[in-house]
Amino acid sequence: MKVTIKTYNAVAYWRWDAPSDDVCGICRVQFDGTCPNCRFPGDDCPILNGKCGHSFHLHCVNDWIQTESSRGLCPMCRQKFEFEAE
Partner 1 sequence: MATKRRILKELEDMSRDRSSGMQAEVVDSDNMMHLRGWFEGPPDTPYAGGTYVVDIVLPDNYPFVPPKMRFETRVWHPNISSQTGAICLDTLSAKWSPVLTIKTALLSLQSLLAAPEPSDPQDAEVAQMMLNDPARFDAKAREWATRYAGAGDAAPPSEAEKRRRELDGYSESLVEGFTGMGFETRAVVSALRGAGVKRGVESLAEDMAGRVVERLIGGM
State the residues that interact with partner 1 by CB under 8 A.
Answer: 25-29, 35-37, 60, 63-64, 67, 69, 73, 75-76, 78
User: What is the helix (H) or strand (E) element at residue 58, kind and residue range?
Assistant: helix 58-66
Closer residue to partner 1, CB minimum distance, 38 or 46: 38
Phi-psi region of 77 (alpha: psi -120 to 50; beta: other; left: phi over 0): alpha
Least distance from C-beta 30 to partner 1, angstroms? 11
Least distance from C-beta 47 to partner 1, angstroms? 15
State the Cα–Cα distance between residues 73 and 60, nearest whole angstrom: 13
Closer residue to partner 1, CB minimum distance, 17 or 68: 68
Closest residue by Cα to residue 25 from 61, 71, 51 = 61
Question: How far, in whole angstroms, is CA 37 from its chain's centroid?
Answer: 13
Closer residue to partner 1, CB minimum distance, 2 or 22: 22
Least distance from C-beta 52 to partner 1, angstroms? 13
